[in-house]
Structure 1
Amino acid sequence: MIPEQVKNGIPFYKPKSEILKKYIDGYYFMSEKEILQSNRYWSFPNNYCIATVCQNAHVISENNKISISSSNHKRLASDFYYNNSFPVEIFYEKPRNEITVYFKPLGIHHFLNEIQFEVHKDSLSDFMPYPDYLPEMEKILNMENEAEKLTAIEHYWLSKLLDKNFELFEPVLCDIECGTKISEIAKKMNISRQHFHKLFFKNIGKSPSDYKKTHRFKSIIESQKKVKDFTGLSYDNSFYDQPHFNKDFKNLTGINPGSFFKKVDTKDSNFWLFV
C-alpha cells in the first residue's frame, strides 16, 4: 500500500478498506529504529479523535505538551486524545515502536458501545477499549513487515465495527461546518443551547464553538492553496477583516499566518511544524 503522506519521515496511510474510510482518516507506524527529521514538533488543532499505543514508553501529557520517553519496564502506553483545540508540542526522547490511528468526527462511536468524553480534559490515559486491545496492538507492533502491520490493523478495527446510525447527528456537523449559528441549530432541534452543547460534547468530544473554529482553520488551509493573499483568505473564510483573521489564526497556531505558511507543509491533511 502506498502511503498518502510522509510525516517526519514516517508514512501516513489511508485505510484500504472502503468501510473503514468512512470512519478512520488514516494511521501511521513508528519504529524505534526510525531516524526522525526532528524529535520535536508542533501539532495543530484538528477535529479527529486520536488513539496511540507506544511500546515500552512513558508518556506525560500536560500544559499542551506531550513528552514520550523510554520506560525501563515492558509496558504499553495507551492514550486517546479527543479535544484537540490548541497547538500541542510533541517531544520524543527517541523513537518508539508506536501505532497511531486518526478517527474522523463520530468515527470512534462506530467501534465502541460507549465512550465518556470528560469536560475540561482533552485525553484519556490507559485507554483500553476492549480486553484484547493491548495484546493485539503488541502483536502488531512486533511485526517486522509493514504490509503485515497494515493488514492486521485494518482487520482488527473491522472486527470491532458496530452497526450504529448517526443520521440524525450528521446534519448537525454539516450545519456547524457551513457556519450556521449554534443558537439556530439548537432551535432547529427544539432544544436549549445548553442542552445542545452537552449533546455535541458527548458525541464529538469538544464544544461546538471549538469544532467550528477548528473546521474553519482547516478551510483556511485549503483556501490558501488557491488564494495566497491574507486579505482574500480572511474574506473567503467569513472573517470581518484581516486583523480579526490574524488574531484568530494566531490563537489556533501560536504563530502568525505568514510564519505558519512558510514553515508548515500544508499539503498534508494533518499539519506538523518541526522545530
Structure 2
Amino acid sequence: MKVNFYKPKNSILKNYIEGYYFMAGNQDSNPIQYLTFPNNFCILSTTYNSDTILEENRIMVTPSTQNKVWTDLVFRYNYPIEVFCEQPINEITLYFKPLGLNHFVSDLEKIFAQRKNLTSYTPFPDFKDTMKQILTNPNREQQIELLENYWISKFQLKDLSLMEQILSDIEKDMKIEEIAEKYNLSRQYINKLFIKNIGKTSSEYRKIHRFRNTLINRKKSKNLTDLSYGNLFFDQSHFIKDFKELTHIKPSTFFKNVDTSKENIWLFI
C-alpha cells in the first residue's frame, strides 16, 4: 500500500499540524492489516462508507453502503494499535502536533479526561458534511486545498506558552522536580496540565518522545548502545525495556522489519 504523507502548505497550519494523508479504496483491493506505534501526536481520522469498531488496542474497518462518515481521535496509546481494513477505504488522517489540536477545538479537556486510547469524535457541527465533500472529490490538489481552508477557518490562537515551555523542558530531559521548581509548580499540577492539554502524563510523553527520537536517529548510530545513550536513556537495558513496552518487539527485530525512514511508522502483519 502506497500512502503519500503531505506537509501543510499553509504557513499557519505548519505550526500545528505535522501532516496528513489520504487513502482511497476500491472493492477489488486486498485487506490491509498493520500495527501503528505510539507517538505524541493527536491523530484525527475520517472515513467514508465504512463501519468502524474501536477496541482498546485494535481498530477494525469494514465497508458500508450507508454513505456514512466516521471520525475517530487517537491521542493516548502506550503500545501498538492494530488496524485492520477489510478493504482499502476512503480516508483522511491528520497528525496534529502535541498541542496543535487545542488551537482549533474547545472541548479537548473533556475528551482527554476520559483517559481512553481512542474515541469517536466529531469536532464541529459541519465537520462530517465537509469531510464527505472532500473525500468524494476525485482531484487530490482540490482535496488538499479544501482540507487546509477548512482547518484555517477553525483556527483560534490560544495562549499555551506555559505548556510549550514545559514540553520543551521535557524534550531536553529535564526532571519533573527541576521543571516544577523552575515554574514554582507542584509535580501533581504539572501532570494535571499534561492530562488537560495533551491527554497523557508527563512520564508517558517523555517515554514516547525518547522512543520516537530513536527512530529518527537510528541511521546515525553504530549500534544499540550508541542509540541508547544518544537518546537520553540511562543505559541499553533501559532503552530495550522502554522500547519493548511501546512496540511489543525487541529493538533488533523492530529495525529489521520496520522502515523508519517513512513519515508513518507502520508494520504490516
Shorter-chain TM-score tier: over 0.9
* Aligned equivalents of 1:40, 1:219: Cα separation in 2: 25
Q: For residue 49 of structure 2, what is the aligned residue in structure 1? A: 56
Q: For residue 147 of structure 2, what is the aligned residue in structure 1? A: 153
2:231 pairs with 1:250: no
* Aligned equivalents of 2:2, 2:31: Cα separation in 1: 9
After superposing the two structures, state which structure 1 stretch, 19-28 or 160-169, moved more. 160-169
The Cα of 1:43 is off from its aligned counterpart by 0.4
Q: Alpha-carbon deviations, 1:73-104, whole Å to 9, x = none?
A: 33111111111322111110111111111100
Mapping of residues 1-275 of structure 1, within 5 Å: 8-33=1-26, 39-115=32-108, 116=110, 117-125=112-120, 127-275=121-269
After superposing the two structures, state which structure 1 stretch, 152-161 or 177-186, moved more. 177-186
Q: Alpha-carbon deviations, 1:101-135, whole Å to 9, x = none?
A: 1100110011113322124312231x221111111
* Aligned equivalents of 1:114, 1:86: Cα separation in 2: 25
The Cα of 1:242 is off from its aligned counterpart by 1.9
SS in 1 for 2:207: helix
Q: For residue 4 of structure 1, what is the aligned residue in structure 2? A: none
Percent identity of the aligned residues? 46
Is contact 1:30–1:99 with CA below 8 Å preserved after alignment? Answer: yes
The Cα of 1:63 is off from its aligned counterpart by 3.1
Opposite residue 88 of structure 1, the aligned amino acid is I
The Cα of 1:25 is off from its aligned counterpart by 0.6
Is contact 1:25–1:104 with CA below 8 Å preserved after alignment? Answer: yes
* Aligned equivalents of 1:34, 1:103: Cα separation in 2: 30
* Aligned equivalents of 1:87, 1:72: Cα separation in 2: 30
Q: Alpha-carbon deviations, 1:244-266, whole Å to 9, x = none?
A: 22121111111111111111111
Is contact 2:31–2:87 with CA below 8 Å preserved after alignment? Answer: no
The number of aligned residues is 267
Is contact 1:83–1:206 with CA below 8 Å preserved after alignment? Answer: yes
Misfit runs of 4+, over 4 Å: 34-38
* Aligned equivalents of 2:141, 2:27: Cα separation in 1: 17
TM-score (norm 2): 0.94
* Aligned equivalents of 1:257, 1:52: Cα separation in 2: 28
SS in 1 for 2:119: strand
The Cα of 1:72 is off from its aligned counterpart by 4.0
Structure 1 residues 146, 198: CA separation in 2 closer, same or farther (over 3 Å shift)? same
SS in 2 for 1:90: strand
The Cα of 1:29 is off from its aligned counterpart by 1.1
Structure 1 residues 148, 59: CA separation in 2 closer, same or farther (over 3 Å shift)? same
TM-score (norm 1): 0.92
* Aligned equivalents of 1:36, 1:66: Cα separation in 2: 19
> Gapped runs of 5+ residues in structure 1?
1-7
* Aligned equivalents of 2:203, 2:39: Cα separation in 1: 13
Is contact 2:6–2:21 with CA below 8 Å preserved after alignment? Answer: yes
Opposite residue 117 of structure 2, the aligned amino acid is D
- Cα RMSD, aligned residues only: 1.7
